[in-house]
Amino acid sequence: MSTTLIKNIGILQTPVGSHSHAGEEQGENRKLHDAAILIENGLITEITDEGRLPQGASGVDVTIDADYRLVTPGLVDGHTHMVFGGYRQHEIPMKLKGATYLDILRAGGGILDTVRKTREATEEDLVYKTSRFLDEMMGFGVTTCESKSGYGLDFDNEMKMLAVNKKLDERHPMDVVSTFLGPHAIPDEYKGDGDAYIDMVCEKMLPYVKEHDLADYADVFTEDSVFNYDQSRRYLEKAKELGFGLKIHADEIEAIGGSRLAGEIGAASAEHLIVINEEGLQSMAKGGTTAMCLPATSFYLGATFAPARRMIELGIPVATASDFNPGSCPSLNLQFVMNLACIRYRMLPEEVLTAVTINPACAIGRGDRVGTLEVGKQGDLVIWNAPDMEMLCYRFGSNLAAKVIKKGNIIK
């Protein structure tokens, strides 16, 4: 039995509960002053404030002095494409000469370029490379993340990517939730025939993924020149029937009905939503779908920013994530995402904290275990080089995570 005590916490700030927080509740955080937390065998067993120490504080194995700084739950990155071969820095000059994201994809580059490099990589290569990303993410304060497939686009390579997710979850301290994104692009073998590719994904891949428990969620890139509304719907209906949670890359570049579909089909989240229209917003509000907003992607693509304030007004739970991938967002820094959420989405610091903790945790099915600091939840937390959340939203470009604790163990 190992016990860890974190004492002298200046402000312990956390959302409360295991459910998604929408509307006014998005901005409701509990703030305890001069607090302490006791973690036993990886779980929080006591939280105190006003300088009182937990009853079990004597005889603990490890004591950490937070030095009167801010402590929050470990961050949750609810949307990443972190398993991939190669990089795509060669796209920078193309972009500077005016090529758009979809121009590059239509010319056989972009995602398809990463598919070629990912197919060449072995499972062990990918486990090694992605482990280093996980180390870096944890250094920024992330203790749980999601990871999508989608750079294999054939049976063997998609299953290889999902096996990487599984191994990382088992071997690395990070909790990794696996999402199947077989319909991420139309592979060369099915060029011009998205319907046939979706048929194959539904008949061969989805049942295998379910049977071998390789992913919790199924996702699709619903976009102009990629998968249309009908193809996305067919795929998601099959996934739902098999028992997957549902996600959609929707309204990233063109609004072709992805967010509307997300609400209609009861998706856990719709992601991107840069160009979402009122119909999509109303559908998501009705369907109880979380908006997984990705501001660093807007920043990197030079696009507009998702209407997060309108989403909060409509009672849609807002989460913000990195979208770390080699094309549209080559950054895994969730602190930068928090800065952008505040400055570009106009979200208040309390709303931002909810958007990087409990809301993404619920959107990846982990709200009962992580995302808040409460008795019974995992001892995942960050001690920040900051006195309050305002400082975290304000300073950008530096890493303010001083100490990162995962299940009571010091990671950083």
Q: Which residues bind ligand NIG (CB under 6 A)?
A: 81, 110-111, 114, 221, 249, 252, 297, 323, 325-328
110 vs 187, which CB is nearer to ligand NIG?
110
Residues binding Fe ion (CB under 5 A) = 323
Residue with tokens 């080699």: 326
> 147 with 214: CB under 8 angstroms?
no
Q: How far is the CB of 245 from ligand NIG (least distance, A)?
A: 18
252 binds, among Fe ion, ligand NIG, none (CB under 5 to 8 A by kind): ligand NIG
Nearer to ligand NIG, 36 or 267 (CB): 267
The one-character DSSP state at 5 is E
DSSP annotation string for 188-235: GGGTT-HHHHHHHIIIIIHHHHHHTT--SEE--BB-TTSB-HHHHHHH
Rg of the chain taking only CA atoms, in angstroms: 21
The answer to whether 217 and 180 are in contact (CB under 8 A) is yes
Residue 10, contacted partner among ligand NIG, Fe ion, none, CB below 5-8 A by kind? none
The CA distance from 380 to 370, in Å, is 7
Closest CA to 323 of 65, 150, 164: 150
Residue 348 C-alpha from the chain's centroid: 20
- The minimum distance between CB 63 and ligand NIG, in angstroms, equals 42
Which of residues 345 and 384 has its CB atom nearest to ligand NIG in the complex?
345
Among Fe ion, ligand NIG, none, partner that 18 touches (CB below 5 to 8 angstroms by kind): none
Q: Which does 111 bind (CB under 5 to 8 A by kind): Fe ion, ligand NIG, none?
A: ligand NIG
The residue sitting closest to ligand NIG, measured at its beta carbon, is 327
CB neighbour list of residue 22: distance below 8 Å, 6 or more residues apart: 312, 315, 316, 317, 318
Residue 252 CB, nearest distance to ligand NIG (Å)?
5
Nearer to ligand NIG, 285 or 292 (CB): 292
Query: Phi and psi of 153, rounded to 5°?
Result: 60, 15
Tell me whether residue 272 or residue 377 sits nearer to ligand NIG (CB atom): 272
Query: At closest approach, how far in Å is the CB of 314 from Fe ion?
Result: 23
Angle at 294 between CA 234 and CA 91, to 5 degrees: 90
Contacts of 132 (CB under 8 A, 6+ apart): none
Q: Which does 137 bind (CB under 5 to 8 A by kind): ligand NIG, Fe ion, none?
A: none
Least CB distance from residue 219 to Fe ion, whole Å? Answer: 8
- The answer to whether 84 and 325 have CB atoms below 8 angstroms apart is yes
Least separation in angstroms between CB 329 and ligand NIG:
6
- To ligand NIG, the closest distance from the beta carbon of 260 in angstroms equals 18
Per partner kind, with CB cut-offs from 5 to 8 A, the member of Fe ion, ligand NIG, none near residue 110 is ligand NIG
Least Cβ distance, residue 320 to ligand NIG (angstroms): 14
Q: Which listed option, Fe ion, ligand NIG, none, makes contact with residue 406 (CB within 5 to 8 Å by class)?
A: none
Residue with smaller CB distance to ligand NIG, 111 or 281? 111
Residue 235, Ramachandran bin (φ over 0: left; ψ between -120 and 50: alpha; else beta): alpha
Task: Give the nearer residue to ligand NIG in terms of CB position, either 91 or 216.
Answer: 91
Indicate which of ligand NIG, Fe ion, none lies near residue 221 (CB less than 5 to 8 Å, by partner kind): ligand NIG
Enumerate the β-bridge partners of residue 63.
Answer: 5
Of 14 and 114, nearer to ligand NIG (C-beta) is: 114
What is the β-pairing status of strands 3-14 and 70-73?
parallel
Question: What are residue 170's phi and psi, to 5 degrees?
Answer: -75, -40
